[in-house]
Amino acid sequence: MKSIAIRIFAAVTAWLACSLPAMAFEPKPAELGFQPAASPNMVRLHAFHDHLLMYIITGIVIFVFLLLAWVVIRYNAKANPVPSKTTHNVLLEIVWTAVPVLILIIIAIPSFKLLFYLDRTQNPDMTLKIAGYQWGWTYTYQLPPAEGAAANTEPQTLEYNALVIRAPKKADGTLGTPEEDIAEINKYIPEGKGRRLLETDNPIVLPVEKNIQILTTANDVIHSWTIPALGVKKDAVPGRTNETWVRVTEPGIYYGQCSEICGIDHSAMPISLYAVTSEEYDAWLSCASGGDGDPRSCVQKLDFDAKYRKNQKAHEVASTTTQPNAQKTGASE
């Protein structure tokens, strides 16, 4: 019995080891695990999941499996024709009550610490306000004060909408084909490297290595602004402003989606984010706020795609039948 259990455990462990994702910037079909972390938030989420929860979950699964196997073998009708009529065991009842409580305490203490860490940053370098609506996002940046401006001057803002890039709906209301969607994306992103149903006409641009305060709200129903690689997921609720923060540690292109079912076009609320150097961010902000172009055209003028998509493979139509939750592509893979 013991040797069989050891063989089963070894086989399961080997299968999991072969199935875990490589450190790639785009998830592949049938992979397991989180995306590579690109923020301190996600690093801590990785650690909490991989170094605590997985050990507890694995131990519970193995224990329950072995317990069931033992019961089936030891107490089947052939091996145990006269079953016991025992109905109570005080020690056993105490143990199976106390052990789950202890497990929950072990999980709760670090999870509370993590929740407080993810909640907000004390001294943000900048603020990004996000408003969800059916079906898109509105982003608002607070611009730095102009030289010589009075201290009580109302701060200027840059505000724009971000909608999914896809082929226009047909006259009868049906959606375009994957090929038509990609043809539309190619108008914005060169060499077929845009990601279907994950690109927006106006992306977010943020600087790396800055503490960024994120404020979320909604104009109609509840949405949820989520970028998995950054460890950010915050509900956008009408009439309420929620707060979180992020610090992107690696330049690249990050993708996410609305994670709260919000209506018929819920799946058409992607998030695309360019994380760039501080100098590139300042140049983009000056371009987008100075009337030199919209956020996407400024991305094109500054050649972000050539830099951050240079190792990204061209999009394959055949792979668009399944839609991943989120993707990330970076300047180096």
Give the best-scoring range by mean pLDDT among 73-87, 141-155, 176-190: 176-190
- Residue 316 is predicted with a pLDDT of 59
Give percent of the chain above pLDDT 70: 83
Render pLDDT for 58-86 as a digit per residue (tens, 0 to 9). 999 999 999 999 999 998 888 888 888 87
Residues 6+ apart with CB under 8 A from 184: 165, 166, 167, 168, 176
Beta bridge partners of 90: none
Residue 143 clears pLDDT 70, i.e. is over it: yes
Report the relative pairing of strands 126-133 and 136-142 from DSSP bridges: antiparallel
pTM: 0.80
Render pLDDT for 299-333 as a digit per residue (tens, 0 to 9). 999 999 888 888 777 765 544 444 444 455 544 44
- Residue 4 is predicted with a pLDDT of 54
- Residue 317 is predicted with a pLDDT of 53
Domains in the chain (CATH in brackets) are: 2-119 (1.10.287.90), 126-146+155-330 (2.60.40.420)
- Residue 112 is predicted with a pLDDT of 96
Beta bridge partners of 254: 273, 328
Residue 191 clears pLDDT 90, i.e. is over it: no
Residue 161 clears pLDDT 80, i.e. is over it: yes
Rounded to 10 deg, the angle between the 40-48 and 90-119 helix axes is: 170
Q: With residue 159 as reference, give the H or E element that holds it.
A: strand 157-162
- Residue 149 is predicted with a pLDDT of 64
Report the relative pairing of strands 204-207 and 270-276 from DSSP bridges: parallel
CA dist., res. 234 & res. 260, Å (int): 10
Average pLDDT over residues 215-243: 95
- Residue 35 is predicted with a pLDDT of 87
Q: What is the DSSP string of 189-255?
A: SGGG-S-TTT-BSS-EEEETT--EEEEEEESSS-EEEEEGGGTEEEEE-BT--EEEEE---S-EEEE
* Contact of 225 with 132, CB cutoff 8 Å: yes
Amino acid at site 331:
A
| pLDDT band, very low/low/confident/very high, at 154 (cuts 50, 70, 90) | confident
| pLDDT band, very low/low/confident/very high, at 3 (cuts 50, 70, 90) | low
- Which one, of 230, 46, 56, 215, lies nearest residue 131 by Cα? 215
- Residue 144 is predicted with a pLDDT of 82
Residue 208 clears pLDDT 90, i.e. is over it: yes
Render pLDDT for 247-292 as a digit per residue (tens, 0 to 9). 999 999 999 999 999 999 999 999 999 999 999 999 999 999 987 7
Tokens at 60, concatenated = 């519970």
* Contact of 265 with 240, CB cutoff 8 Å: no
Averaged pLDDT score across all residues of the chain: 85
- Residue 332 is predicted with a pLDDT of 43
Please give the residue that has the higher pLDDT: either 88 or 300.
Answer: 300
- Residue 77 is predicted with a pLDDT of 86
Average pLDDT over residues 12-36: 53
Give ∠ CA 211-248-106 in degrees, rounded to 5. Answer: 85
Residue 94 clears pLDDT 80, i.e. is over it: yes
